[in-house]
Amino acid sequence: MSDFFFSVGYHWCYQSQKDEQPTCKGNYQSPINIVTKDVIYDKSLKPLNFEGYDVKGSSKWNIENNGHTVKITLGTSPKIGGGGLRRKYKAIEFHFHWGVQDTLHYLPGSEHSIDGEKQAMELHIVHIREDALDIADAKKISDGIAVLAFFIKVGGKASQMDPLPLSSLIPPEDELGRYYRYEGSLTTPDCHEGVIWTVFEKPVELSIFQVSQFSTVHFDGKNSTYMVENFRPAQFLNERYVYWSSASTLLPPAKVLMLVLILTYILSSLFQ
């Protein structure tokens, strides 16, 4: 795996050390390695407020392979607020980053890491300010984008797949309040800075079978290369600080269940 990615026309690749976009060379780039001994405790980082996260909605979601990840565009606009955010943000899409299954092991593919430890996958839920029209409009504002990052780790056995005990995927409720906050960027070109990152410490658990199913996706059609290791390496922290939350609780179980059900649905419907 390389140290960076590059863009060619409208397409770009993770497997090159060359990058031709100046916006990907700023001082506030993501992802980062979070060094826990250096984080700053911030008492203002209380539990986030989630609005509409447990509402199914009537509009269809658009699920697509966009050539570098699996992206799901939402038909509704759930919102987040609180948690040190100065305003509300509406969710517009979520996507995944993952590693690769080799002969003996699954090589982790999360973008962020904690004390150098990566997890199998990472889920990003992308939000924009509620007063922004779209992602392009949000990029015009210094705090226009907020991303929630959830680690996904291998924890269960494939025999748990049918039926899958949802309790085996949900972190204990008393461990859901710890998260990290920092200012960074999008992790794909144009690497736009001005993104508020919230990285949750406790990962969601999936079986090795579920995680490895993502590696069956192709970059471009069935005869092309398998889409694996679609993550950007850690970037320099530079003069930034990482803050740690004081939250004691985060998502009520029903709302965490919604995230787990989303993952299970995508795995069962797209990667047969």
Tell me what the mean pLDDT of segment 83-93 comes to: 93
pLDDT greater than 90 at residue 241: yes
Name, in order, each residue with C-beta under 8 angstroms of 261's C-beta and a sequence gap of 6 or more.
166
- The string of pLDDT tens digits covering residues 19-59 is 557 889 999 999 999 999 999 999 999 888 888 777 777 77
Q: What is the pLDDT of residue 221?
A: 64
68 is catalytic: yes
Class of domain 47-270: alpha beta
Three-point CA angle 61, 63, 68, nearest 5°: 145
- The string of pLDDT tens digits covering residues 176-218 is 568 999 999 999 999 999 999 999 888 877 778 778 878 878 7
DSSP for 226-242 reads B-----PPP---TT---
Distance, CA of 79 to CA of 181 (rounded, Å): 18
Domain locations in the chain? 47-270
Spot the catalytic one: 68, 97, 124, 127.
68
* SS3 label, residue 48: strand
Distance, CA of 115 to CA of 65 (rounded, Å): 31
